[in-house]
Copies of this chain bind each other. A is one copy, B any other.
C-alpha cells in the first residue's frame, strides 16, 4: 500500500538516496553534500514561492519523490505549478508510484487555486513519457536555454 505524503524532517536520509538516484539518471552522479543540504532545507522551509516535496512511502520505505513550486505566469494571475523533479526507485517501478505522485501534485495545485501544472522531460525519456501520456498532455512546446 503506497501512501503519498508531504516530505518530513525524518525523511532526510532516505530522501537523499532517492534524489541522488534521480540526479544520477540525468548524468549528475557526484553532487556535493552541500547541494542536498540546501535543497532539503528549502523543501522544509514552507515559504511562499519556495519548493514543496511529496514522497511515496510503502511499508516504511520511501519509494518515490516529487518536488514542485508555484511561480508567476503573466497570462494567469493565479500562477502556475512547475513540477521539477519526479523519481521512483528502481525497485518500485510499475506499481503506480509515479502516477500517484503526479496526481498528488495536481491535488496540491487545486488546493492552492493554481491548477495549471506542467513539467519538462527529455524527448527520449521513453519510460517517463509512457506515464506522462496517460496523465497529461504532450504540448508542442520545446525548451530553449541560453548557452552558458
- A residues with CB within 8 A of B: 35, 38-39, 42-43, 49-51, 67, 69, 71-75, 77, 82, 84-85, 106, 109, 115-124, 126-127, 129-130, 132-133, 135-148
Contacts and interface: CB of A to CB of B under 8 A. Distances in A.
Given A74-B42, A116-B145, A143-B118, A126 B123 contact: no
A144 B130 contact: no
A143 B145 contact: no
The residue in A116, A124, A136, A142 that gathers the most chain B C-beta atoms within 10 A of its C-beta is A142
A66 to B, nearest CB: 11
Contacts of A124: 129, 133, 138, 140
Contacts of A82: 71
24 contacts: A49-B71, A49-B72, A69-B71, A73-B84, A74-B85, A116-B145, A116-B146, A118-B145, A121-B141, A121-B142, A123-B123, A123-B140, A123-B142, A124-B138, A126-B126, A126-B129, A126-B130, A136-B145, A137-B144, A137-B145, A137-B146, A138-B142, A138-B144, A142-B143
